[in-house]
Amino acid sequence: ADFDAKKKRKVAEIYQALNSDPINVAALRRMAISEGGLLTDEIRCKVWPKLLSVNTDDLPPLPAGKELREDSKDYQQVLLDVRRSLRRFPPGMPDDQREGLQEELIDIILHVLKRNPQLHYYQGYHDIVVTFLLVVGDRLATALVEKLSTHHLRDFMDPTMDNTKHILNYLMPIIDQVNPEVHDFMQSAEVGTIFALSWLITWFGHVLSDFRHVVRLYDFFLACHPLMPIYFAAVIVLYRKQEVLDCECDMASVHHLLSQIPQDLPYETLISRAGDLFVQFPPSELAREAAQQQAERTAASTFKDFELASVQQRPDTVLRQRFRERPRGEERTKSFLAKPRTNRFVKLAVMGLTVALGAAALAVVKSALEWAPKFELQIFP
């Protein structure tokens, strides 16, 4: 009953944010991140467009599918992928209903690609689109997916995989900051990061069998920085640290273990942990390790306002300040020469702080970042 009361309260707060003038997007972000996310698909239909600043009063009509299909160079590949997507539809859905949705899915994808010739289809894209289709229906899904494809997913839709690989390069530095032992073990096993590729490019839609978990993660990712899925991937690996360390230290064993994602993950805990890690180790701080030379080209690195917001409000800047005031002994020089695993005890102190602040810390960062249209041009290239 306590849970129901909490849920009722949250629903009321969400509607209050939606009905305020102007709409309180910062509050909606907080709701999407905090425990339980946006709770129902009915609410998602109203809130997801706000998180992506999509105007729902002015949705373009969907074009007829026939000419789209005749014109599209991607049609055959999309058709194959969509035919293979059976398990992404609710079990027990009647065949004709599912087939109708699969046709809609093909049309949405081809429509977005036709309107945005700079975007390139990739396998796994349909896993993201089907999530939107099932939650909000075809017209709204088209508008949301188009916005998402030119923003959060932009790097996956380049002609080459370079930017996607670059984003995967953030995974090991995050793991290194939290647990050097797991990091070094994975490096010795030479496992690389490809095990997380399908997680990243489908926002976990492809690998999680329970649709409720998928939409809960979508609530979270839509409210956050484009790199949040890679933080979530890191958190899953760290959550399984014992299994990893008990594994044979070779590529095949570790890759096999990690690419099988457990279905009973404690999602709420992991979401709040990913948020904490983002606040402690924002992308700007990891960029050097994640191969700087490419950083200029990815959508993530252009998300400057966010970095600014997080820099101004990170508790560890305070701690670092205090650390600097300590006497400069031989210790100081040594720590500078060491690999950039920034002073461990500062990090640990921060961890205590941010874990206590939890999603609240994230929300603070968020509220400093309003995705108002006037920012749009600065945030994304």
d(CA 282, CA 279): 6
d(CA 343, CA 9): 42
Show Cβ contacts of residue 180 under 8 Å, excluding neighbours closer than 6 positions: 341
Domain ranges in the chain are: 1-152, 161-299
User: Which two three-digit tokens encode residue 125?
Assistant: 């894209």
User: Which two three-digit tokens encode residue 101?
Assistant: 């949705």
d(CA 274, CA 229): 9
The CA distances from residue 100 to 38, 65, 107, in Å, are 27, 12, 11
Tell me, what's the pLDDT at 4?
Answer: 87
What amino acid occupies position 172?
Answer: M
The CA distances from residue 264 to 74, 183, 224, 268, in Å, are 36, 24, 23, 11
pLDDT per position as a tens digit, 235-284: 999 999 999 999 999 999 999 999 999 989 999 999 999 999 999 999 88
Tell me, what's the pLDDT at 243?
Answer: 97
Contact 138, 50 (CB under 8 A): no
SS3 for 178? helix
Tell me, what's the pLDDT at 308?
Answer: 40
pLDDT per position as a tens digit, 82-95: 998 888 998 899 99
The DSSP call for residue 262 is -
What amino acid occupies position 179?
Answer: N
pLDDT per position as a tens digit, 150-179: 999 999 999 988 889 889 999 999 999 999
Q: Which fold would CATH assign to domain 161-299?
A: Cyclin A; domain 1 (1.10.472)
- For the whole model, what pTM was predicted? 0.77
Q: For 118-138, what is the mean pLDDT?
A: 95
**CB-neighbour burial class of residue 377 (10 A; exposed 0-12, middle 13-18, buried 19+):** exposed
User: Which two three-digit tokens encode residue 170?
Assistant: 């953030």
What amino acid occupies position 184?
Answer: D
Q: Which fold would CATH assign to domain 1-152?
A: Helicase, Ruva Protein; domain 3 (1.10.8)
pLDDT per position as a tens digit, 301-352: 444 434 443 444 433 443 344 344 444 444 433 433 344 444 444 444 444 4
CA 54 to chain centre: 19
